[in-house]
């Protein structure tokens, strides 16, 4: 399918060298995948549950990183649905191909490099659904977030949906770990391995870093109704909202009517 992809010049200044290095190392070493808490995977599952596609239609995964949404959508993608991952970092996009190979999804997965803070290199009404899972919050300025949602509105087909999740202004790293362990309480071995082996690293290498950026204002934590308002202002009709990520994230569904 032709998405009308065009070249973009440069990258936004909001992606500092430190920010990029944090994610690049995580994607390249696969630490990002291995250290993702259970609450994050459950949030991805909720996004997948709310994605509505027919055979042959495309979902755009905005800020796809290494493609953690792919395994959650795998069964549906084998039935004819299509996935387009978009990220600013090539290290994340480079993981899409190998992940698609492992899941036997070679013909269903594509990737495009793009900067969410700029005009997106996709044609109008080119995808049926957009998943923006913990990506737009990295734009600290309200005007940039509103522009990003307007761009997502532009590329969604009429009748299509945006499913987005972002951190709350009361994001709590330790609570995310507690919620993740609660979800694993009936799985003794994974619970022990993650509590004493992986989650201390998850907390101090990942979640605490994100918490620090949110508190400093470098990234944006949403207040109640704020996320719904930004999406509605872009033109989407709000269909659903809920709390996710151990209570530290808001998820909203908007439809392009």
| Weakest mean pLDDT among 22-36, 99-113, 159-173 | 22-36
Question: For residues 203 and 212, what is the distance between their CA atoms, to the nearest angstrom?
Answer: 12
Give the residue with greater pLDDT, 26 vs 96.
96
Question: For residues 166 and 62, what is the distance between their CA atoms, to the nearest angstrom?
Answer: 12
For residue 101, pLDDT over 60 is answered with yes
Q: Does any domain span residue 231?
A: yes
Residue 149: give the domain boundaries: 17-255
Please, which residues have CB within 8 angstroms of residue 42's CB and are 6 or more apart in sequence? 183, 244, 245
pLDDT of residue 90: 87
Q: What are phi and psi of 156, to 5 degrees?
A: -85, 140
Number of domains composing the chain: 1
pLDDT of residue 52: 87
pLDDT of residue 5: 47
* 97: its two tokens: 């191909």
CA distances from 235 to 116, 121, 238, 241 (A): 18, 20, 9, 16
Question: For residues 7 and 98, what is the distance between their CA atoms, to the nearest angstrom?
Answer: 24
* 206: its two tokens: 């990942």
For residue 11, pLDDT over 80 is answered with no
222 neighbors 142 (Cβ within 8 angstroms): no
Per-residue pLDDT band at 196 (split at 50, 70, 90): very high
> At 137, is the secondary structure helix, strand, or coil?
helix
Per-residue pLDDT band at 24 (split at 50, 70, 90): low
Q: Does any domain span residue 207?
A: yes
Q: Does any domain span residue 87?
A: yes
Give the residue among 160, 151, 116 at the shortest CA–CA distance from 135.
116
* 106: its two tokens: 């070679």
The strand pairing partners of 156, in sequence order, are: 127
DSSP letter for 61, please.
Answer: E
> At 13, is the secondary structure helix, strand, or coil?
coil
Q: Does any domain span residue 1?
A: no
98 neighbors 69 (Cβ within 8 angstroms): no
Per-residue pLDDT band at 4 (split at 50, 70, 90): very low
Per-residue pLDDT band at 20 (split at 50, 70, 90): low
* 16: its two tokens: 């500092």
Give the residue among 79, 154, 67, 157 at the shortest CA–CA distance from 112.
67
Q: What are phi and psi of 112, to 5 degrees?
A: -145, 135
Q: Does any domain span residue 10?
A: no
Give the residue with greater pLDDT, 224 vs 176.
176
Element (H, E) at 154: helix 142-155
Strand pairing category for 109-113 and 127-133: unpaired
Per-residue pLDDT band at 205 (split at 50, 70, 90): confident
51 neighbors 163 (Cβ within 8 angstroms): yes
User: What CATH number did the domain enclosing 156 receive?
Assistant: 3.40.50.150
pLDDT average, residue stretch 203-229: 94
Per-residue pLDDT band at 211 (split at 50, 70, 90): very high
Q: Does any domain span residue 134?
A: yes
pLDDT of residue 27: 56
Q: Does any domain span residue 2?
A: no
Residue 44: CB atoms within 10 Å: 23
| Model pLDDT for residues 106-156, shown as the tens digit of each residue | 889 999 999 999 999 999 999 999 999 999 999 999 999 999 999 999 999
Q: Does any domain span residue 4?
A: no
């Amino acid at each position: 399918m032709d998405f009308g992809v065009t070249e973009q010049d440069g990258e936004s200044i909001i992606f500092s060298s430190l920010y990029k290095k944090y994610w690049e190392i995580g994607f390249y070493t696969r630490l990002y995948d291995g250290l993702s808490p259970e609450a994050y995977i459950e949030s991805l599952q909720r996004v997948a549950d709310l994605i509505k596609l027919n055979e042959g239609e495309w979902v755009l995964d905005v800020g796809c990183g290494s493609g953690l949404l792919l395994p959650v959508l795998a069964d549906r993608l084998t039935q004819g649905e299509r996935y387009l991952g978009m990220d600013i970092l090539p290290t994340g996009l480079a993981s899409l191909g190998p992940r698609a190979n492992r899941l036997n999804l070679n013909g269903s997965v594509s990737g495009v490099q793009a900067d969410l803070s700029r005009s997106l290199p996709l044609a109008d009404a080119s995808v049926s659904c957009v998943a923006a899972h913990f990506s737009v919050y990295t734009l600290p300025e309200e005007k940039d977030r509103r522009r990003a949602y307007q761009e997502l509105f532009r590329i969604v087909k009429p009748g299509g949906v945006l499913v987005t999740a972002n951190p709350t202004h009361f994001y709590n790293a330790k609570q995310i770990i507690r919620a993740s362990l609660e979800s694993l309480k009936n799985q003794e071995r994974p619970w022990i391995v993650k509590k004493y082996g992986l989650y201390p690293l998850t907390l101090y290498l990942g979640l605490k870093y994100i918490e620090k950026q949110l508190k400093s204002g470098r990234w944006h934590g949403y207040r109640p109704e704020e996320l719904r308002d930004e999406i509605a202002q872009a033109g989407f009709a709000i269909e659903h909202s809920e709390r996710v990520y151990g209570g530290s994230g808001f998820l909203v569904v908007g439809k392009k009517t």
